[in-house]
Amino acid sequence: MKVLQERIRQEGLILSDTVLKVDSFLNHQVDTELALQIGQEFKRVFGHLPINKIITIEASGIQFAMAAAIALGVPFIYAKKKKAVTLSEAVYSAPVHSFTRQEEYLISISQKYLGSGDKVLIVDDFLATGAALIGLVDIVNEAGAELLGVGCVIEKSFQEGRSLLEKRGIPVYSLARIASMAPGEVHFIDNNPAVDPIQDKAIAAVQEA
């Protein structure tokens, strides 16, 4: 997604070869117009699938899950992060290890809102280690719902998240894939030819299924 890559180049703060800050337009201050365009892009990529629900994790996945949900005309659910194990109601939950904070936390979704009839798209802001997304995948599986794909806004392609998801046979599509970065420079992998995003291998796999 060209406009997103441009914004990352212009406004992204690259603090090291692994840390990228995009809080001026994506995950603290949010450029609403860009967020809506991101939703449309997810629709362009996943819109042919019979998705009836989008799920994400609080907090910074919410604006993109909502944008995708607006574009696809479906509701979305955001998994809650809980530290307490005491839960007041029946939930699906999965542990997630945060590498940034070096702590384990639980994410959970109420059993009332996800079940065997659901066809799910997972959306999140970043795909890096994949830890949080694997947690969501586990929840979708536990609920007996069908996972049709994972869509991320920014992917750090030099980390293992994508391969962990693909090993499980999950189609992954990221709107900006970063091959490498260093203060002052960022290199993207161009996997989104405007002419035909469906030729992306992961998406093609969905079509064939």
Please report, as ranges, the residues that interact with its own copies according to CB under 8 A. Answer: 23-25, 28-33, 35-36, 58-60, 62-63, 66, 69-70, 73-78, 80, 109-110, 112-113
Of 83 and 167, the one with the shorter C-beta distance to its own copies is 83
Closest CB to its own copies among residues 89, 185: 89
Residue ranges at the known binding site for xanthine: 20, 27, 156
Tokens at 84, concatenated: 């307490």
Question: Quick one: which of 203, 109, 86 has its CA closest to 150?
Answer: 203
Task: State in angstroms the smallest separation of the CB of 203 from its own copies.
Answer: 23
Q: Which is nearer to its own copies, 53 or 162 (CB)?
A: 53
Closer by beta carbon to its own copies, 107 or else 203: 107
CB of 160 to its own copies, least distance (A): 25
Q: Is 171 helix (H, G, I), strand (E, B) or coil?
A: coil
- Binding-site positions: 20, 27, 128-132, 156
Q: What is the nearest approach in angstroms of its own copies to the Cβ of residue 66? A: 5
Residue 53 phi/psi, 5° resolution? -160, 140
* Alpha-carbon dihedral sign for residues 206, 164, 145, 55: negative
Least distance in Å: CB of 139 to its own copies?
A: 13
Query: Given the DSSP bridges, would you call strands 53-57 and 119-127 parallel, antiparallel or unpaired?
Result: parallel
Cα distance between residue 97 and residue 95, in whole Å: 7
Bridge partner residues of 120 (DSSP): 53, 147
